[in-house]
Structure 1
Amino acid sequence: MARENVQPTVLVVDDEATNIEVLAKLLQPDHRVLFTTDPSKAMNLAEMKGPDLILLDVIMPNMDGYEVCRRLKSRASTRDIPVIFVTAMGEEQFEAIGFEAGGVDYITKPVKPFLLRARVKTHIDLKRQSDLLRRLASLDGLTGIPNRRSLDEFLRQEWHRGLRHESRLSAMLIDVDFFKKFNDVQGHQAGDVCLRQIAEALSRTLERKTDLVARYGGEEFACILPETPLQGAVHTAEKIKQAVASLAIPHPQSDVADIVTLSMGVISVTPKRGHEPEEILAAADQFLYMAKLSGRNQIQSGLHAWEAETAANA
């Protein structure tokens, strides 16, 4: 949430370098200004840098600003970046096209400095408020890590990416052993502290930014590990199990240890057409059930059923 205190970034897209220079002088030093004179590069630059706002010219060679805006709005990674058209085309019909393409505002040239700064500030403030609300809605209120809704969205995204690239996708479900006994004896407040400590340990252990840990529900957590084979996922699970054991949270009521422990189910699969992303969590849940059935405080893992069958017949 520290982004609210970071200097706003504005991407200027205009084929005339002099226009970029004018806009940059008006926005600096209160804004970090990025720019490109090539409209075809605007999408990738926006995706890589994640600006708070884009100032976009309309008349440019090869691709006009309207088409650039449409393409930005078609990508999940850039659709929420506000776009202000800055152009000499001030007629109402052109403004209408700009708003239909996804722009949030329309400023005509020559630019009035006060008007530009005011509108840029307004739309950046609105975007940051919207970003904050989205982040709050995606986090679990108790632990501060992503919630089940975020998990489902991330899993669908990575499933479809796995389909496109034929890459491995691993997942794990994690259950705190005998947590009901912990709550019953030590109280729900202590239980909440315990869950927060576990969530922090899980977050620290997942070193890659591409991985996700989320609260699955109650005392269960889930991890999604893109481009990770089964061996790598199991290795990560072992690190998580050890990290939580290192917390040494007392649990005298446990039937398997005197500290809080985890049971874990790990699954790895190459996404396959005709199947749904939810299947990977259902399969992980089966391995978690096996871990509980086998005495808890352990990891059970394997391939998805369709891959296990293929491997057996090979």
Structure 2
Amino acid sequence: MNAVDMPKVLVADDDAINRQVLGELLKPEYTVLLAKNGAQALERAQRHAPDLILLDVMMPDMDGYEVLRQLRADPATAGIAVIFISGLDRPEDEANGLKLGAADYIAKPFNATVVMARVAMHLQLVRQRRLLESLAHVDALTELANRRRFDEVYQGEWRRAQRNGRPLSVALLDIDCFKQYNDHYGHPAGDRALRAVARTCASFMRRPADLACRYGGEEIVLLMPDTFAAQARHLVACVCQAVAQLTIAHAASPVGPSLTISVGGATYGGRGAETAGALFEAVDQQLYLAKQGGRNQIAWRAGDAEEAA
């Protein structure tokens, strides 16, 4: 396994020998991070986002229980699995850790085989949970992100654009006369056409932050952070051209012999008091204008972003 792909395990213990022993034990299979106190554990958890934390309970200044409370209170670290490692072996001590949200509890002096088995088990659970979470965010037909995922990412990107004063562009694509397409060719053919358009849209979302989502029915939304209006409109024009070049026959369309799309878009320029909801309403309004204008076209509200581009 490539070192970049290895799961990350943070070992937080004030005892240098324990840190060394656990570090050497885990290094052959995992990327190991070390912390010697609670404050350092929190800082490294926030910076490196480990997959699992082995956390000593008894540490000076900030004990493991308080570290876990602060991890759970921070959305960025709330989901990290934590295994307590402690010399406290009373049932009530273990119960206290589990009530706070620890995934497991290993008593000192620890057995190397037991530690490795527990770490492997909990990392497998982490992988399974992430797989389920990813499936919950995927549209089964198009394999694009779904509406739920868009809503989550959109809000985050909106806040980031406001905070950094950077543009955010959004486009909503609609397949022209798709009801007529389904009526003429049948729903299985409609599903194939929608998947082809979805793949085309996704192929243009090349940056890590770009996102293509199935918004509903035959609508696909493109989220383009840090993208000015002129850039976004050019990219969307390329998408429209690529869809046209699929040459999917659409005999029932009044627009043309092949399947086409209409697009509405808008850009928030990083300035002003516009809300996330108002930006998307502008996108929807532009899509309406594109359809009213004869379809197979792009309508875009640039706002102050066009001036900055």
Shorter-chain TM-score tier: 0.7 to 0.9
CA contact (8 A) 1:205 1:243 kept: no
What secondary structure does 2:245 align onto?
helix
What residue number does 2:135 align with?
136
SS of the aligned residue for 2:214 comes to strand
Query: Which residue number in structure 2 is paired with residue 31 of structure 1?
Result: 30
Structure 1 unaligned regions, length at least 5:
1-5
* Aligned residue runs from structure 1 range 181-260, under 5 A: 181-260=180-259
Q: Distance in 2 between matches of 1:198 and 1:176?
A: 8
2:244/2:258 contact within 8 Å kept = yes
1:198 to partner: Cα distance = 1.3
Task: Compute the displacement of 1:66 (Å).
Answer: 3.4
Residues 273 and 27 (structure 1 numbering): CA distance in 2 closer, same or farther, change over 3 Å?
same
TM-score normalised by length of structure 2: 0.85
Q: Show the counterpart of 2:293.
A: 294
In structure 2, C-alpha distance between the alignment counterparts of 1:79 and 1:206, rounded to whole Å:
29
Tell me the distance in 2 between the aligned counterparts of 1:137 and 1:151: 12
* Contact 2:8–2:51 (CA under 8 A) maintained in structure 1: yes
Partner Cα separation in structure 2 for residue 27 and residue 79 of structure 1: 23
Say which SS state the counterpart of residue 251 (structure 1) adopts. coil
Q: Specify whether residues 121 and 39 from structure 1 end up closer, same or farther in structure 2 by C-alpha distance, changes over 3 A only.
A: same
Residue 276 of structure 1, CA deviation: 4.8
Match of 1:3 in 2: none
Letter in 1 for 2:183: D
Match of 2:170 in 1: 171
Task: Give the Å deviation of 1:207.
Answer: 1.2
CA 1:200/1:47 → structure 2, altered by over 3 Å: closer, same or farther? Answer: farther
**Partners in 2 of 1:130 and 1:287 — Cα distance?**
39
d(CA) in 2 for partners of 1:42, 1:144? 38
Q: Aligned runs of 1:1-314 on 2, under 5 Å?
A: 7-37=6-36, 39-43=38-42, 45-47=44-46, 49-60=48-59, 63-92=62-91, 94-269=93-268, 276-303=275-302
Q: Within 2, Cα distance between the matches of 1:225 and 1:112?
A: 50
Relative to structure 1, the CA distance from residue 239 to residue 50 in structure 2 (aligned partners, 3 Å threshold; closer, same or farther) is farther
The alpha carbon displacement at 1:70 in A equals: 3.0
What percentage of aligned pairs have identical amino acids?
42
Q: Mean Cα displacement is larger for which, 179-188 or 9-18?
A: 9-18
Q: Distance in 2 between matches of 1:62 and 1:243?
A: 60
In structure 2, distance between residues paired with 1:232 and 1:56: 47
Moved more, 178-187 or 12-21: 12-21
Alignment check: 8 A CA contact 2:228 2:269 kept: no
Letter in 2 for 1:56: L
Alignment-mate amino acid for residue 79 of structure 2: D
Does the CA contact (< 8 Å) of 1:159 and 1:271 recur in 2?
Answer: no
Q: 1:257 to 1:35 in 2, by over 3 A?
A: farther
146-155 vs 96-105, greater mean Cα deviation: 96-105
Q: Distance in 2 between matches of 1:41 and 1:28?
A: 20
Task: Give the direction of change, closer, same or farther, for the CA distance of 1:44–1:177 in structure 2 (3 Å limit).
Answer: farther
> Could you report, residue by residue, the CA deviation over 1:117-154 in whole angstroms, capped at 9, with x for unpaired residues?
22222222222222111111111110111111111111
Between Structure 1 and Structure 2, how many residues are aligned?
302
Letter in 2 for 1:202: C
